[in-house]
A = this chain, B = another copy of it.
Amino acid sequence: MTGSVLAGFPATTIRWRDQLDTPAVVVDLDIVERNLRRGAEFAASASVDFRPHIKTHKIPALARAQLELGACGITAQKVSEAEIMADAGLDDILISFNILGRTKLQRLRALAERVRLRTVADNATVIDGLSSAFSGTPDRLGVLVELDGALKRCGVPTVEHAMDHARKVDRAAGLRFDGFMIYPAPDHWQDALTFLAACKDAALQAGLDPRVLSTGGSPDMVKFAPDANVTEYRAGSYIYNDRALVSMGGASVSDCALTVHATVVSTPTPTRAIIDAGSKSLSSDLFGLSGFGMVRNRSDADIFALSEEHGHIEFADGAPAVGDHIAIIPNHACVVSNLTDHVQFVRGDYWVGEQRVEARGTVQ
């Protein structure tokens, strides 16, 4: 596959920097395409099914490009996110979140009638709910048992717990045990492989078929090698990259496709600049970093505080002038996508068009 998977988004002849109103979230499709290809090459070399997480971009056209480059399907985090992707023709979806409650279970069942759907569970209440929603349906819902990746989030902590739930899923009306899923905390990706391996062995011994062994994480893609205990890899941020990924060694600055563009609106001191992008544009996610983003081409800049509409920056070497534009690589690209109704697609210096972030703000 050598042609552009984003050929439907050609550059115009408009130089976008001349006409940009700020704050604006700018996505460079040339970099996106490079990142997408790198993801696809990773999946091929790692011999895994690749299932990108669309929470990073929330744009069906980009999900379709991921499929075109060989992804087996997509990952979504919400029923509502999955519904929007299904409406756009994405037809193989893992919802990597415990689904609970009458309304969501009804929607999940409706969704399963139109796409190949799989979800997760890490406790009996969720399994019982899924089973009651899907018992009596012609096809059973595929369920992965979620394992704890040391993130202090969801997931069972031991093989014994995992097998209890695997057996319960296998016995439950309307459900099909499909395997295990884990999301490793930073620096725990090898522990995750060990945990998956142990669960796989236990499942096989119990006569179950753990056909899907799913791990993930953009930061660890560079370290991952083919592994007999992993069949599927989920990654979201690799499509855009961000300051957190750069700081973890998972990407370089030139791989960062999404930037927040802002205008200096005040320079109250010779070294302080206030910009028109605050927490409503950049989010307050620190991700363990110091400062709320990285100012491109100004390594002396420290975004030391955010108000909702103001970014507060110290420039050790002297603030830019009022009216100047700056570009910021955010700490966390996914939350920036969620904050904005639209992003500006560009290719290098040229504008492509304004793109709606269709799955932004999905709640339930």
Contact = CB atoms under 8 A, between A and B. Distances in A.
A255 interface: no
B123 A21 contact: no
A208 interface: no
Contacts of A268: 122, 148, 152-157
A347 to B, nearest CB: 22
B98 A265 contact: yes
Interface residues of A, number: 60
A47 interface: no
Interface string A220-250: 0000000000000000000000000000000
A284 B281 contact: no
A274 interface: yes
Interface stretch (A32-40, A169-177, A186-194, A332-340): A332-340
A305 interface: yes
A86 to B, nearest CB: 18
B323 A363 contact: no
Contacts of A66: none
A327 to B, nearest CB: 16
Contact of A153 (B148, B157, B310, B341): B310
A21 B364 CA distance: 7
Contacts of A276: 97, 100
A106 B304 CA distance: 32
A322 B22 contact: no
Nearest to A284: B284
Nearest to A304: B152
A interface, over-half SS: loop
Contacts of A78: 309
A262 to B, nearest CB: 11
Interface in A109-138: 122-123, 125-126
A209 interface: no
Interface string A266-299: 1111001010100111011110000000000000
A308 interface: yes
A335 B152 CA distance: 25
Most chain B Cβ neighbours within 10 Å, of A21, A23, A268, A334: A268
B153 A307 contact: yes
Nearest to A124: B322
Interface in A305-332: 305, 307-310, 312, 321-323
A181 to B, nearest CB: 13
A21 B104 contact: yes
A120 B126 CA distance: 54
A162 interface: no
A62 to B, nearest CB: 17
A341 to B, nearest CB: 5
A298 to B, nearest CB: 18
Given A24-B363, A154-B266, 7 more contacts: A123-B266, A126-B266, A126-B322, A153-B305, A154-B310, A284-B285, A339-B339
8 contacts: A97-B265, A97-B276, A97-B310, A125-B323, A126-B322, A152-B304, A155-B266, A156-B268
